[in-house]
Amino acid sequence: MTINDDKFIQRAEIIWEKGTNRAAFYRGEVDKYNWVELGSSFLPSDALASFLYLQLKILDKIQKKRIAHWYQYDQLLKPLANKGHLSLPVIPSYATVNGNMYYLLMPTPDERDKMIGHLRSQGIQAVFHYLPLHSSPYFKDKHDGRELTNTDHFAGCIVRLPLYYSLKEKQIRYITNKITDYFSGLNK
């Protein structure tokens, strides 16, 4: 965990320690530890920590490859966007691609569902993302009721494509070819 403001260190430590002040106990700052706030078990196992450490050692390599995958998707799908079949991510001039995910936007939720079904029938794991916060069961009663039409539109139309380090260029071509095939099939 990284904290960019010292005032959050103690609270983050308590949340990290399952809501207890156990770390303060280990440092001898309190004579016993108790639950003092909400928290959870965020501690990774040794095996997971080892795996993460190895990934962190090659983080630049991983990021470069994921960003290359992102641009490959973008280049191969641009012709479909230019024809108006779908929309692609827009990166403002002041921003950069981080390789987190690649998505496309279908015009309607129904078309999104059809695209995801088509891709799944071709062995491609594409997903629609998740519910917007204001629609989630947890937050629904906390939302002030405003309509968030843009949020609802994008949540209803997004298709996330596979994007991971070990993805191969030929797999990206396969995925984009199947997306192209989908639109070719609509014109028949």
User: pLDDT digit string (tens) for 136-146?
Assistant: 877 878 889 89
Instruction: Name the DSSP class of 68.
Output: H
Reported as a single tens digit per residue, the pLDDT across 27-54 is 889 888 888 888 887 778 899 999 999 9
E-assigned strand segments in 3-136: 102-105
For residue 110, give Cα distances in angstroms to 4, 114, 155, 169. Answer: 42, 6, 12, 29
Find the mean pLDDT for residues 148-176. Answer: 95
Give the domain ranges of the chain: 6-43, 59-186
Predicted structure pTM score: 0.76
Task: Look up residue 184 and give its two tokens.
Answer: 């070719």
Q: What is the pLDDT of residue 22?
A: 86
* Whether the predicted pLDDT of 188 surpasses 60: no
Query: If pLDDT is split at 50, 70 and 90, which confidence band does 14 have?
Result: confident
97 within 8 A of 67, measured Cβ to Cβ: yes
Architecture of domain 59-186: Alpha-Beta Complex (3.90)
- Quote the CA–CA distance of 100 and 102 in Å, as a whole number: 7
Instruction: Give me the residues paired with residue 20 across strands.
Output: 35
